[in-house]
A and B are shown apart, each in its own frame.
Chain A
Amino acid sequence: MKLFGKSLLELKKLVTQKEVSAPEVSSYFRKRIAKYNGVLNAFLSVVAEDGGLPIGVKDNFCTRGVRTTASAKVLDDFIPPYESTVTDRLKKNQLTVIGKTNMDAWAHGSSTETSDYGPTKNPWDTTRAPGGSSGGSAAAVSAYLAPAAIGSETAGSIRQPASWCGVVGLKPTFGRVSRYGVVAMGSSFDCPGPITATVEDAAFILGLIAGRDRYDATSSPRPVPDYLSSLAERRKLTVGVAEEYFDSVNVEVKAAVEKAVEIFQKLGHRVKKVRLLSPKYSISVYTVLQRAEVSSNLARYDGIRYGGSRAFFAAEAKKRIMLGAYTLSYGYYDAFYKKAQKVRTLIIKNFKEIFNDVDVIISPTAPITALKLGEFEKYPFFGEVMDILNEPAAVAGIPAVNIPCGTDTNGLPIGLQIMGNYFKEETLLSLAYQFEKETEFFGVIKKGIENYKDD
């Protein structure tokens, strides 16, 4: 049975039809990981457990009995005695964690280079970064070391690596998917979500992991729609395009996204120009709030009950802790945290108003395609700048998806993002699905796995 390049749902169908067994599929992917992980460093650990179909999971999701480090040496020997809600729901739906994927340590970064276990390489060009922080998950899907993977986003950590690795990455609405058992980064932003090779797989996985969780007070009680079957509804949408999201975007990226706009028009959607607050405000808001939350969330790693001592914290985490503690300090709270919250409210308001006029907003996912490894060290706020187009949706808590929309002259994938209104994941997915059916993502997915054949 030839499994190479099959989507998760295709594999599921083969298993249902008894063409292949789930353990055979797992074993197939373990062989692929053994073969290619040495080069890519996408996985930090591989789980030798058979059950359902395999899925890669970012290493900040607690998995019972399986080492969970968040790529931080502080948690080098941490084996959680409990399961994150996301992995629990995957397991209950016949999916098995095949391995834990590399990431920026504590999810602090946009290149997976801050990992205490070495950077993940971009499968398209191993001298380049895969993006981050869910770089391991994106690279694993891109190189077909797993048919699908789970990532998590604080601001861009799913969409941006999906863009740089040429795969589909969905950041759901804040509260749509439980954060229980996910090593917290910026608690008011964090969203788990799928990274896949097809829109269908993303819709399928979201359907499994979304919904109210009694262990997460911020999870939404809204009923979970059947994302997968709603893909078939070929709804005609009003697509918003905001100039502000094309400032200082690389020309090739810009051209690819503009071409995508034409395709949406061709598919019968109405394209409308809209004015949005400049994404630069989101950088400030996000930087202040996320650092504050980080400084608080990392306070528990004192080395007393588990994990290594605080001496194991690397530079990036230390910087964030210091900055966050500073902005929360007496006398500074009003000037930073409180002000940032006020601007956050304005950004939310801005999106709500725009979504009265349009169903979705599209823009490039990242201003540029994958950078060379090591570039990030040149910029003090590398992540914030690299994620500039992702931050508004993160700050507002709205859903957004990255889909591949072409390649640049270096042969690197370009990503398009579709942002939608609160809890309208099915709208985003519907549009992404129509685009996929029309273009097959310009062959990006197929091209991504070309260098990672079976034999």
Chain B
Amino acid sequence: MKIIKTISRHPHGSEDLVSFQIPASAGTTNFMKYIPVIGLEIHVELKTASKMFCQCSADYFAKPPNSNTCPVCLGMPGALPVPNETAVNWTMKIGKALNCQLASLSKFDRKHYFYPDLPKGYQISQYVEPIAVNGYLKLKGKKFRVQRVHLEEDTGKLIHSGKDTLVDFNRSGVPLVEIVTEPDFDNSNDVKEFLQELHTIIKYLDVSDADMEKGSMRLEPNISVRVCHPGLDPGSQKDSLVHENDKLPLPPYKVEVKNINSFNFVKKAIDYEVKRHLEILEKGETPIQETRGFVEADSSTKSQRSKEETHDYRYFPDPDIPPLSFSADYLSATVGSLPELPAAKTNRFIKKFGLKEADAFLLTRDKEVAGYFEKCLTLVKGSRIVEDLPQKLANAILNKRVTLNLGPDKFVQSVVELYKPKATDMEKLDAAVKSVLAKNQSAVEEYKKGKERVIMFLVGQVMREMKGQADPLKVKKELAGKLKR
């Protein structure tokens, strides 16, 4: 069988493995089509002052082992969890920012499994009634659904040293938000963009460091590849599957990849996995359902544990924590307290300040930078010295033409200085124009033949001759005048 790779162009120009077609049998026009099916689980540690169910500090980073613990987060006999209200509130904010429905009644459940970093033998999590459900994030016209946003507690950490394994419970009980998407992704670029947008949103909400290196944001893609049989499978008629996914049966397996600590690695892990699955599927086999670990060194993945022994977590409502109920007032106050989110800010920058879309997008990736930009604008309100000042400020910020270490007032001054029309010595200009025209006869010829763009080259030459001490608009005008003659 011959594989014909069909390539789709991604909006950003990169080439993706989106679908493969191979003849199902010789002599027929039936083609099998392979489409990656990817869902995401994202864990975000909240930066609340205290842990999820006790009063220990949630800031455990770089503290001496087991110094940040108490009977509750050590799961000692008789110790009881009391939920952290701020963590609940922040989880709602994340849910709302992802367009979820917020629950008016939410519960904590116990999720049982044995592991040395889990002191109670169960993790307090949310199973049946999470804080937020049924959301989505729209990116470039595509809608990626968010199944749920729930709150749980982080575990301790195992440190393997020689033959020994040590346990550090400093992290045990730190509030952890889990965001689960529907398997709506079919390529690694969309995944990367989604995650970057999510990361930006979390940073805007100011609820987590979302630092992947430190593990305060963890990315786990679930990957499988769907085999579509044209004619049998209604879904295969469509190329865009995002909104049709529910109608298609999911592949009979999925592979979860862990140990990923950057957006680029997520992309690499997915690409590696999709290729691996294709090779297996092509042999007529089904990949094993398992958990794999990403290997940075060669951007591959390695099997960690097979999911043959599927966990039975024996979930049940935690009897130590009464159900949480939220009044309509509380919910609307929480929603009302959300900051302007990155997508909305981008749109506003485009509409209000006339920025180019790409620049508005880049400026809003960091709330601080966007804020700096707006602060600068308030300082030059109504200024007509420089034309299209917002865009020029944006350029100056994005191209780092002026250092951002300056206070906004100084920064604005420097930008205005940079772009304000220069006083032009008309005598010198005249001489320079003549000299440039004389030296560049071929350009002049081209111009006269109708290639008018050449004038910009000539403007550049004049500006150089004038050592920059001229208003480029005036230079252009002067050149145009001379060339017409």
**A-side interface residues toward B, CB under 8 Å?**
60-62, 68, 70, 75, 78, 80-82, 84, 179-184, 186-188, 214-218, 292-293, 295-296, 298-300, 302, 304-306, 325, 328-330, 333, 337
Contact = CB atoms under 8 A, between A and B. Distances in A.
B116 A328 contact: no
B345 interface: no
Interface in B111-126: 112, 114, 116, 119-122
B119 A187 contact: no
Nearest to A214: B82
Interface in B68-112: 70-72, 74-83, 110, 112
19 contacts: A62-B78, A82-B76, A84-B78, A215-B82, A217-B81, A218-B80, A218-B321, A293-B319, A295-B314, A296-B110, A296-B122, A296-B314, A300-B120, A300-B121, A302-B121, A305-B75, A306-B76, A328-B314, A328-B316
A180 B54 CA distance: 12
Contacts of A215: 72, 80, 82
Nearest to A175: B322
A305 B322 contact: no
Given A300-B120, A302-B116, 11 more contacts: A60-B78, A78-B77, A80-B77, A84-B78, A180-B78, A184-B78, A214-B82, A215-B80, A218-B321, A328-B315, A329-B312
A179 B70 CA distance: 17
Nearest to A74: B77
B77 A70 contact: yes
Contacts of A182: 78
Contacts of A325: 314
Nearest to A333: B316
A180 B120 contact: no
B417 interface: no
Nearest to A299: B121
Contacts of B114: 299, 302
B432 interface: no
Nearest to B318: A187
Contacts of B80: 179-180, 215-218
Contacts of A302: 114, 116, 121
A298 B75 CA distance: 11
Contacts of A216: 80, 82, 320
A134 B121 CA distance: 27
Residues of B in contact with A, size category: 20 to 34
B78 A218 contact: no
Nearest to A188: B319
A225 B455 CA distance: 93
B457 to A, nearest CB: 74
Contacts of B205: none
Nearest to A181: B78
A218 B314 contact: no
Interface of B: 70-72, 74-83, 110, 112, 114, 116, 119-122, 167, 312, 314-316, 319-322
Nearest to B54: A215
B345 to A, nearest CB: 38
B466 to A, nearest CB: 75
A80 B82 contact: no
B314 A82 contact: no
A328 B317 CA distance: 11
Closest 5 pairs (CB-CB, A-B): A299-B121, A188-B319, A328-B314, A187-B319, A181-B78
Residue in A78, A181, A306 whose Cβ sees the most chain B Cβ within 10 Å: A181
A330 B312 contact: yes
Contacts of B81: 217
A217 B320 contact: yes
A300 B314 contact: no
A58 to B, nearest CB: 12
A296 B322 contact: no
Contacts of A298: 121
A184 B183 CA distance: 40
B71 A82 contact: yes
Contact of B112 (A62, A78, A81, A296): A296
Given A78-B77, A302-B121, A305-B74, A337 B82 contact: no
A124 B80 CA distance: 38
A209 to B, nearest CB: 15
Residue in A179, A300, A306, A329 whose Cβ sees the most chain B Cβ within 10 Å: A300
A167 B75 CA distance: 35
A133 to B, nearest CB: 15
